[in-house]
Structure 1
Amino acid sequence: MIKKSMKMMVAVCAASMLLTSCYSYTSVVGSGAQGNSQTTNWNHYVIYGLAPVGVSDSKAMAGGAENYTVTTRQSFVNGLVSAITFGIYTPTTTTVTK
């Protein structure tokens, strides 16, 4: 009985680690992107993303444009870095399209 419970716990832990996913959040400013010019920066967080260390300023990344689209996501590479550091360092990527 204990072996079966232990196997179940290991399976649940493995599934929770392997079945995580990336996320994406998009904001449209003004009429949205009018072209395909993109600027990308990483955002730096610690402790599973709870404490920001360095976050991109999307308005500054837009360079004075009035119409642009901001996409913040955790890419595969960001997730890999987070997994390697066991969540101590958790980056995300911000892309501004003008």
Structure 2
Amino acid sequence: MKRTIKMGAAAFAAGLMLTSCYSYTTVVGKGAQGHQEVKKWNHYVVFGLAPVDVSDAKEMADGTQDYTVTTKHSFITGLVSGLTFGLYTPTTTTVIK
């Protein structure tokens, strides 16, 4: 019985350590020319398959022609997804102008 508990604990710890954060970056025009950031959460349901409210990077750039867009799953959004068992899966979009 003790061995099963130890193996379960080891598997759980390995699962926590082997997780990663998804990140996707797009450069528009010449890319970010400054350090001004605008962040917004994107809301998805059913493991990210159905979008509910997704940010518009062009609108977040507020008319700027050169900017960088990064969309990612961070630790916090992954935690929220895990706590809801994947029913609600947010991501974060960051626009750097």
TM-score bin, normalised by smaller chain:
0.7 to 0.9
Residue 97 of structure 1 corresponds to 96
Give the letter for the 1:97 counterpart: I
RMSD between superposed Cα atoms in Å: 2.0
Aligned residues between the structures: 93
Tell me which residue corresponds to 2:50: 51
In the TM superposition, structure 1's runs of 4+ consecutive aligned residues that sit over 2 Å from their partners are 13-20
Displacement after TM superposition at 1:59 (Å): 0.1
- Which aligned pairs between 1:1-98 and structure 2 lie closer than 5 A? 14=12, 17-18=15-16, 19-98=18-97
In 2: Cα distance, 1:51 partner to 1:17 partner: 26
Which blocks of at least 5 consecutive residues in structure 1 are unaligned? 1-5
Q: Distance in 1 between matches of 2:50 and 2:20?
A: 21
TM-score of the aligned structures, taking structure 2 as reference length: 0.84
Cα distance, 1:20 vs structure 2: 2.4
Identify unmatched segments of 5+ residues in structure 2. none
- CA distance in 2: counterparts of 1:70 and 1:91, whole angstroms: 16
